[in-house]
Structure 1
Amino acid sequence: MSKQLNSGPAIILVEPQMGENIGMVARAMANFGLGELRLVSPRDGWPNEAARATAAKAQHLVDGATVFDTLEEAVGDLSFVLATTARQRDGFKPVYGPVEATRALRGRVEADQTTGILFGRERFGLSNEEVGRADAIVTFPVDPDFASLNIAQAVLLMSYEWMKAGMADENATRFSGPDTTPAPKEELHGYLDHLETALNARGYFRPVAKKEKMVDKLRAVLTRPGFTSGEVKVLRGILSSLDYFSPNEPRGMGYPERKQAADAPRMQRQPATASERNAGGQTASGQVAGERIAGEQSETGSDDA
């Protein structure tokens, strides 16, 4: 047997019963960078097409698996072996949890020692004699009333801990969410002022004596998320549509009075275009200039959504 590549412990399945489980073991290994699969007397023979079918792009591990007649041969070239079990065994072997176990494996692999992890049969795991051939035991913190794990699940857990033990930051992820900057307070407060005005016009603040406290709570809820400028624009667009228009007066069908009042300050600051002046304040689409100006906020919000 050639010297084990220094890429992690060998995964050793002792008399695995189903080819499908072997394929899923290979998939779990590939997920977390383990590259050596050893099989001891697989029940259904080898090679096994069921294993290839369930390997999900990890067929290279199935095709590269080494088959042994006995456990002694499978671990013969290894210097440190862990045995996985959910049952307490007689003897004086050290017992590790998966985190401590994989850290110990990392140290040995980095010291160019050959290592392996034993996994038993689907039906009853490893025998006492087989556990006795390992250097230490690793067990999972499972519910004692239901401690049995599928073999692929057990391999997945150990493979995950192996990968995590080699990371400089155990909380690191392969990708992250977008960097976001909260909107300027002016934008957020403008939205909150608009919301308060709209709710007040519809009699939301009842009884009136409690309005101040209700406004405080409303602002506390809406300032907590740290909305971006784009998100505030979406909210302003939604609020504008609900506040100024209705099913009987949808956008483009007129110029509601409340919208005229809201647009008046902006209209005074922003002169109409030449075409709007020539048309007496009416745009080519039939919207008055004031609706176009005030509607910009709503349209921008829709685009950002």
Structure 2
Amino acid sequence: MTRRILPYRIPSEDVLTAQKWLLVTEDGEVTMPEALPDWDYQMDLHLRRTVSVDLDRARVQSGLPTDAALMLAAVWTATGSNLSGPAQHVRLVEGGTRKVELDIRLKGADLGGLLLLDTALVLAERRSDARPSSPRRAGSVLWSDRESLRLQGDAPQFPMAVIDFARTSFPDEAAWHLQISGGLESATMGSLLLLVNERNTVTATAFENAGKPRPVDRIVLSAVYADAARIMMEHALGNGDFAEDADFPDGSLGATMLSLFDQLFPGQSITDIRLRQRQSPALFASDLQAAVKIFEVS
């Protein structure tokens, strides 16, 4: 592990023993994987981790008095949504070895892309009596680590909402509508919104069951994702700035579109696919159905 050089003393790595993050599911706990390819924005995450801290050694090696209050904190960051926030913090004022159970729940609507989980042991309060070589500011980091979970699977990922289409300008009997706004430089999370008509119970139920779909739910979700991929590609190909050499910011709509294009049409140029879409829209639609493997459900 790379060790940062800080302007104050910090304890050795072995004063903490941090277990791996565990993903809590309906079927039990599993070690958090590197990626969740079936994740979507309807899927909340429940994560747990146990951390043991030798508080006496942590204070002594940092040059802190025995009554210095410490804190173990967990913070999350999602690159897909550009959101972050505190997950949990536990104040540590006692001595000896303390075992801390971190137990966090994150809303799927706030996530996307790469989920970063930072755990840190910090000084809880400012110490005006600290030695020159010791940490003194509240929040001074004594130890930290980071683990990540990739949430972006092969299917298009976007936030969604279930609404009554009768109260909108959309046709009452339509099942869904993918709304795209903003330019290619805009953040994906603020540019894409999948609206599902609550009156279409088959589709609404499929998304409710997205975490553990039935065979019929998989078929519906496959149709929605195929249609969404078509709409996204048509939107991208209709923009002249959409090109292989375009440098879109991470987390932007353009970067998302380029990533999706590479998944659907590997080894093919945007110019060729744009020409095919313009000259033969029906053939393009069939090509895209084949690319997303529509209705190939397990």
TM-score when scaled to structure 1?
0.19
User: Rg larger in 1 or in 2?
Assistant: 1
Instruction: Give the structure with the higher percent strand.
Output: 2
Instruction: Give the structure with the higher percent helix.
Output: 1
